Structure 1
Amino acid sequence: MRKKGLLFLLLPLLAFTTVHKFYVSVTNIGYSEKDNALQITSRLFIDDMEQVLQERYDIKGNLATEEESELARDYLEKYLRAKFVVEVNGEVRDFTFLAKKYDNDVMVCYLEVPDVELSQTKSIQVQNEILTDLFDEQQNVVHFKINGNKKSFVLIKENNKGMLNL
């Protein structure tokens, strides 16, 4: 009988709790010997990126719909360039925004840093501030897998850089 009483006391509390959204992105960084390039794939939640476009650029992106804004890709690329930085041997390197696609509720962005000679590369550093300006709880997971070296980082607002030494 005591257990039922406890359940009746806790039930109203449980009824008013909501599922807290998890704010996370996952970025994989590899190297293509054929292309002499770092190849980067970032997976981001569509609704979070929709909110970025709205709040930062006042653009209703309508991402992953028939009505997707033509400006959405341009502003998405602009945002990624401002929030995602790659350094090779301490030098900031520009990336090419190759494409994006949608996979259920996730946007997958494909980036490439061309002309990277792996034999002359000592370190690769990534600064990932994607969505940390909107969500304090945002975590950006970065996985390096280059030349047999594997390293992963969980980057947050206060600690937004990860480095792979080769």
Structure 2
Amino acid sequence: MKSLKKFLVILVLPLVAFTAAHKFYVSVTNVNYSEKDKALQITSRVFIDDLDKLLQERYDVKSKLATEEESPLADEYLEKYLRAKFVVEVNGANASYNYIGKKYDADVVIFYIEVPNVDLATLKTIQIENEVLTDLFDEQQNVVHFKVGKDKKSFVLVKSRTKGMLKL
């Protein structure tokens, strides 16, 4: 029994130490079609600390997101970054979108984006290209969930595969 306990400690200790030291780099994006608004409504959840690091590295902005000292430039640079790294295509053509804004929820930023004037009757494909944070973290994974009517599909996008498409 004593040797079994030692064996378990030897087996479990490195696993616990590894998981405590490892950080996951992930974002979650939901793409939903609103029949009422005839629009694609998109929310994307990204860790605050990763965005802080990104704004510092890429734009030399000490953003201090979600604090009382948040930089007045933070919103401007976050939108600029999103427009460069987050692309929506509808029926094979780039779709312009409205950056509605952001809010904080615990340790994440939730971005709100809308693609207006999308007619469900003519909607054939929606493609999301999500390169958010892949330029800073090689391990970054961007999960995208599509829901249009009864059609649902999910993708895990990574640095080497940044696009996911829902065909209707």
TM-score computed with the length of structure 2 as normaliser? 0.91
Q: Which residue does the alignment assign to 1:59?
A: 61
Q: Which residue does the alignment assign to 2:49?
A: 47
Stretches of 4+ moved more than 6 A in 1? 7-12
> What is the alpha-carbon distance in structure 2 between the residues aligned to residue 106 and residue 154 of structure 1?
19
**CA shift at 1:19, angstroms?**
2.3
How many matched pairs?
166
**CA shift at 1:148, angstroms?**
1.0
Seen in structure 2, the aligned counterparts of structure 1 residues 60 and 89 have a Cα distance that, compared at 3 Å, is: same
What amino acid sits opposite 1:87 in the alignment?
E
**CA shift at 1:2, angstroms?**
3.9
Runs of 5+ consecutive residues of structure 1 not aligned to the other structure? none
Q: Which residue does the alignment assign to 1:127?
A: 129
Q: Which residue does the alignment assign to 1:108?
A: 110
**CA shift at 1:13, angstroms?**
5.8
Q: Which residue does the alignment assign to 1:69?
A: 71
Q: Which residue does the alignment assign to 2:167?
A: 165
**CA shift at 1:65, angstroms?**
0.6
Seen in structure 2, the aligned counterparts of structure 1 residues 12 and 71 have a Cα distance that, compared at 3 Å, is: same
What amino acid sits opposite 2:118 in the alignment?
V
**CA shift at 1:103, angstroms?**
0.5
Task: State the secondary structure of the residue aligned to 2:22.
Answer: coil
Identity %: 63
Task: State the secondary structure of the residue aligned to 1:38.
Answer: strand
Seen in structure 2, the aligned counterparts of structure 1 residues 13 and 155 have a Cα distance that, compared at 3 Å, is: closer
**Where do 1:75-90 residues align within 5 Å?**
75-90=77-92
What amino acid sits opposite 2:86 in the alignment?
F
**CA shift at 1:34, angstroms?**
1.8
Task: State the secondary structure of the residue aligned to 2:21.
Answer: coil
